[in-house]
Chain A
């Protein structure tokens, strides 16, 4: 009976909860101080296992990437001029030709955004895309949009096929080696249902991570960009707040100061399923081509006997 119940259980579908206003994240990277409170809070609230520790050699980023057991990842990008003779690619921001002199180096000048270089930090997370490729790809229906329009994995349904991993243009979702299922940020669905804010946003000391209704976040973000422009930070822009020609808007969008690729994000994400119809059509063409060719070859030879 238990075995029968386990067989039937995945096919049962209770009535979905009533839709609520879309909720999401606005991450203002100009406020991020790289404290990683978001990473710690996320790990603690969701009881995620440790990933072990090893120095990555990548600034203060030893987390390295989002994964099935790391749902918040703080990126550290150092943009300082060279001075030790090691050959490098040119930095993205214009910096003086002469290296920094430790005797005359000014921390105040650095923090005020002078031409001595800068440090970019951003807390990366699942983007909860409005049209999520992972949700479209999932063959079991484990990935769904919940009542808050967030992308959520039903862990009792996922069988670990890994197709969502292949579909994500941001490299977010990952299959866990512990239980074989896919995992990612849930936007603290359990906390939201109890009218609490996500753990990372709660823990962030500078309010770099802001949580709320999407419409309100977009208005707030636009005002923040205007303010930064007025203060002379012309590089500030929003990433993912609006749909692009090739991708939907993001439910977790960011304010950035450099190209997305500098932060480890795709410059121009593209919806993988946009070519679905055309690819099916060409596959059908290929199938017809070979079956017709085979038929002609067989029938032609048979007629010749």
Chain B
């Protein structure tokens, strides 16, 4: 008896548009949340030091979330039916939760954007309300993506309980990095110094959470990628997107170092999301050195055995 093996589940039809969606979702929610935080703290201490980054954050978050929504619509099998997502609200479906939270977040992002475009000075109470409520909406919108993936039957995703936390923390890192880059370009002190401190703090949390997720998914990843691919991906994501920016921040307070750290953080986050999206599309077969070890690892990790269906022709 010869065998042909394959994974039982089917990979969802999610590719580049979903990678773009995950990345833009992370950026838009992170940028808004950090900008809103700076706005509230600036108000609290009576300082206008954060104004430049707050303005950039509020002006950028709404277009970013619009681009995110466009990616989601374009990814649908029938994009013209995108509004069918608003037919129901199902708390048991993370995608339904995300549709509504993203819609609500978009509203707050739009209001903040409008205040910046027109005149923000006359509506202090509205500004604070938008900032506080918008942060809550942004955090929900950033976190639901990971829960959406972890509550599926897909190999790797279904093994990770920390995916929602990691994507949420990663959004904080991406958003901070985005604002830090602009603060450095504008030489906005002391905002730049403060955002470097925030980025360093959030990156440490991000590295910890990403390591937990990588550990949780180890069996599915080992069964699908070669060791060289794993080393390359994790060097890019954790090394390039996490450790390198930390080193740059610690080594130098100069603007170029801050910009480089910001860019690496955002690129590392995009690489991580692309790697995540691609995991179910890699069948166990694809691993060039697949053998009994990888088969046992896959079977042990997922509890789903691969089928054994015999090809008669290989016996003749």
Contacts and interface: CB of A to CB of B under 8 A. Distances in A.
B8 interface: yes
Contact of A294 (B144, B190, B202, B312): B202
Interface string A120-157: 00000000000001001111111000000000000001
A264 B10 contact: no
Given A141-B87, A159-B82, A285-B165, A280 B147 contact: yes
Q: Is the interface of B mostly helix, strand, loop or mixed?
A: helix
Residue with the highest number of chain B CB atoms closer than 10 Å, among A65, A181, A282: A282
Interface in B1-56: 1-4, 7-14, 33-34, 37-38, 41, 44-45, 47, 49
Interface stretch (B88-96, B108-116, B268-276): B88-96
Interface in B142-181: 142-144, 146-154, 157-158, 161-169, 172-173, 176
Contact of B153 (A11, A55, A167): A167
A272 interface: yes
Contacts of A179: 77-78
B142 A287 contact: yes
Contacts of B2: 86, 88
A283 B143 contact: yes
A297 B161 contact: no
B8 A272 contact: no
Nearest to A282: B165
Contact of B172 (A142, A280, A290): A290
B106 to A, nearest CB: 17
B88 A176 contact: no
Contacts of A189: none
Nearest to A137: B93
Contact of B77 (A180, A278, A301): A180
A289 B83 CA distance: 34
A141 B45 contact: no
Which range contains the number of A residues in contact with the other chain? Answer: 35 or more
A58 B309 contact: yes
B248 interface: no
A11 B9 CA distance: 32
B34 A79 contact: no
A98 interface: no
Interface string B275-316: 000001000000000000000000000011111111111110
A142 B84 contact: yes
Nearest to B209: A286
A266 to B, nearest CB: 4
14 contacts: A57-B311, A58-B309, A78-B1, A84-B315, A159-B82, A173-B10, A176-B77, A179-B77, A265-B307, A276-B147, A287-B165, A290-B169, A293-B202, A305-B49
Interface of B: 1-4, 7-14, 33-34, 37-38, 41, 44-45, 47, 49, 75-79, 81-85, 87-88, 90, 92-96, 99, 135, 139-140, 142-144, 146-154, 157-158, 161-169, 172-173, 176, 190, 193-194, 197-198, 200-202, 205-206, 209, 280, 303-315
The 3 closest A-B pairs by CB, nearest first: A160-B77, A286-B165, A180-B77
Interface of A: 7, 10-11, 55-61, 65, 75-82, 84, 86, 88-89, 91-92, 117, 133, 136-142, 157-163, 165-176, 179-182, 259-270, 272-273, 275-276, 278-280, 282-287, 289-291, 293-303, 305
